[in-house]
Chain A
Amino acid sequence: MHSDDVKDIVREAYGAIDSSTEAVAYKLYSPEELAGVPRSAIERALDVGNHLAFADIERGETILDLGCGGGIDSILAAQRTGPGGRVIALDFLPEMLERTAAAADEVGLDNVQTLEAEMEAIPLPEASIDHVISNGVINLSPRKRRVLAECARVLRPGGKLSVADLTVGDEELPPEILTHPATWAG
């Protein structure tokens, strides 16, 4: 499938989600972790893992959340980096950024900043980020090499990357499934 077609499918599919995905949040995060997350973000969770359980987030870090979606991980990361740090929540869909900003407001976090951009071309200076986090997003890009190069560029030397993502085995799924638009978006 052509790279632009994949991006269009992904944009359209994520823009159209209107049902609650709280079951995803409750499957991956503990009640203690979710205690400080607003319902609105829990209901929009599209995570594929709990990378923050392994992420070494220090107070004061500048964190980039690549493909923030409804904001669940941006909120959790902003709480851990604290008022001396900040989270830049990046997504290419304005509606996702609005949800993330509203969720941050709801819990009184003023260290979450949103950024409308594509992860293949991150509009941030090089070495400006301490930690890139991303959950269920990189697999959606038709240009993964470019995305990882962008992550490396914006991270300072020694900067951290903490990712949860889907991978596949060597044995391919049937072509009817691999060519279906829903599997390119999900």
Chain B
Amino acid sequence: MAGALTERDFVEKLEKAGFGDIKVHLREQVSVDDLALYPLFTDEIIELMRTLISSDRLEAVATSLIVTAKRRAGHLSP
């Protein structure tokens, strides 16, 4: 998650890589409680999040995005 892009950057990188017809179908807020379902987020980091992140942001620390796109025809830039 620390390396995640913003939606804008993600879509821009898709365009640059040679994708078109890019559609964002769903954006779902990911809360700290949601992250706690994944064992990668240890009790320690979840606790740190609950302590350091302002209460109004705990419900939306990231967004889960669903995107579809199509590979454009023609030459791809290297």
Contacts from A to B (Cβ < 8 Å) = 1, 6, 13-14, 17-19, 21, 23-24, 27, 46, 48-51, 53-56, 139-142, 144-145, 148-149, 151-153, 155-171, 173-174, 176-180, 182-186
Residue of A nearest to B44 (CB): A182
For A162, A168, A173, A180, the residue with the greatest tally of chain B CB atoms inside 10 Å of its CB is A168
Distance in Å: Cβ of A152 to nearest Cβ of chain B: 4
Residue from B38, B42, B66 within 8 A of A163 (CB atoms): B66
Majority DSSP secondary structure for residues of B touching A: mixed
Query: CA–CA, A149 to B13, complex, Å?
Result: 9
Contacts from B to A (Cβ < 8 Å) = 1-7, 10, 13-14, 16-19, 25-26, 28, 30, 35, 37-42, 44-45, 48-49, 52-53, 57, 60-74, 76
- A-B residue pair count with CB separations less than 8 angstroms: 169
Chain A residues lying within 8 Å of B60, measured Cβ to Cβ, are: 169
